[in-house]
Structure 1
Amino acid sequence: MSAPAAPPAPARTPHEPQHGPHPGILAIVATGLFLAGLLVPLALSGGSAFPSPFGDTAASLAHFREHAAPTRTGGALHFAASVPLAIYAATVSARLHRLGIRAPGATIALAGGLLASAALAASGLLAWVLGQSDVLEHPGVVPALHLLAFATGGAGHVVPLGLLVAGIAVPGLLAGLLPRRLAWAGLVLAALAELSVFSLLAEALSPLLPVARFGGLAWLIAAGFLLPRTRPRTRRA
């Protein structure tokens, strides 16, 4: 008597590519947390904005002492915003590679996004430290921490954010992955972001920071929704 035949092996289905989280949603979350880090402390402190490190030192120290909790809250929210920004950079870089981009743009986007995320995280943590009552008992260290929080959250964050935008916009333009107007707008914003490094040398150039920052975040949202998941064969050819 012969042994029963083994059941046939299940048919293999083609492996579906893993697209990861939606970059557009990640950009919205990162932008929302960043804006919350600005607006929530402003509301909690009765409209008293985060002081400039180039203003009166005594006034800045008085602000941090009076509004310690809002300062800590803003720092924590900005630290939280750095996480989806890093995931966005990794997701978009992987998608560009999957779309056949072998030029350095995808790697530049990843490097710029990770550096921008790290600078934003550092700025948030430094702001959180500025809201600690024990630290405020040592007025001599407050100006240095204040400047570091400004530098890392300003040019330290915006300049690599421009690299993230450029790393997406250049292949988006050359390979036709993004609408041309959006790609060119990204290149302009990236150039402004890189020029904002000179705000460290001339305070008059500080307006470049909010323009490049908020323009760049809005651009990342748009690119996250418009960047395709697959590349048509005709385009690849």
Structure 2
Amino acid sequence: MFAAYFRLEQIEDLFTVSHVRFNREIKGNGLFGRMNRIRLIGALTGRSSLHLMLDPWAFMEAEMIPEGLQKWVSIPARLLRTALVIGGLLLLCHSFYWLCTTLSKPLSGLKILCIATLIACFILALLAVLVRVYVSLFKLEELESFLLDSYFVGRNRRMLGEGVYGRYSRLSHISTMLLLSDKFLSISDPGAIKGIARLPLPLQRIVTIPNRMLAYSIAGFGVIYFCATFFKLLN
């Protein structure tokens, strides 16, 4: 909130070409409008979103924000990530407690099957995340070497850094790029098209397979949990 009221104009004045300069008229100067404007600028300094990639000039201008001002716009994202991690850990602890409590009671065969399937989906998702972490730590440079002409790959290396979260985010962006059409890339990142075409199939697989495993396991967990809750199988 401090950044939204006392640093926003100073930061927005640095954007002279991209759509950011119009946010003042679009979002307004109210409390939520200013916070939304600072959030959008913060998104330009962190992980790149698909809809924002359509304006690469915004990311280029965001790179020019002085480090002192970048800290102000990155604080909300860091707080949100911290809250999500804490919430996830609390949910995991609650789920483990529920599992121990449930298994201590007599269970029907269908209920055991539902619980076993949920556990399998969770383990599959965890394995997919661990594989992605491994790839981000030991295969990322090899992947990025084929995408040297991509602006966003270079930008992610500069802005996201070499930490575990930064490397994981850089890998996530590459996995997203593999799913994008040439039409989208021709607008957002034309330099990446030839690099993706040169990317060897084994490297593509170590990116896409864990990504699909994670997506399918999360979707499967959600569907099974919803159905089990709807039919009161977990009560």
TM tier relative to shorter chain:
0.3 to 0.5
Question: Quick check: which one's helix share is greater?
Answer: 2
Q: TM-score, normalised by structure 1?
A: 0.34
